[in-house]
Amino acid sequence: MALQLRPNCEYCDCDLPPDATNARICSYECTFCADCVETKLFNVCPNCGGGFAPRPIRPTQEWRPGACTTKQVPSDKRVHLKYSMEDVAAHCARVRDVPPERR
């Protein structure tokens, strides 16, 4: 099963197309832009508490049968945080000093 490749940052709602090099994901595919991860979330996923990694770029060319953006289409469903900005800030402040591998 391929990653959803969500089209936006869940925090600031900026566009993150499939080839965005500034897209970050957690292990649950929560998707944020690098700026929000670094300056607002401090590498803490506001949904699960995990850390982030750069989102891989799905090839547009079908190098192998069925493996490309036209065969496994990125999601067009925009996702937004279900928590208030105040709750996110408190959650990130509470967790940010714990390394992701120890959370």
| pTM, 2 dp | 0.93
Rounded distance between C-alpha atoms, residue 48 and residue 61, angstroms: 33
Rounded distance between C-alpha atoms, residue 20 and residue 81, angstroms: 20
* Mean pLDDT, 10 residues at a time, the chain of 103 residues: 92 98 97 98 98 97 95 96 97 97 95
Rounded distance between C-alpha atoms, residue 12 and residue 29, angstroms: 16
Query: Which among 47, 56, 72 is positioned nearest to 24, based on CA atoms?
Result: 56
The whole-number pLDDT of residue 2 equals 84
User: Hey, what are 31's tokens?
Assistant: 């998707």
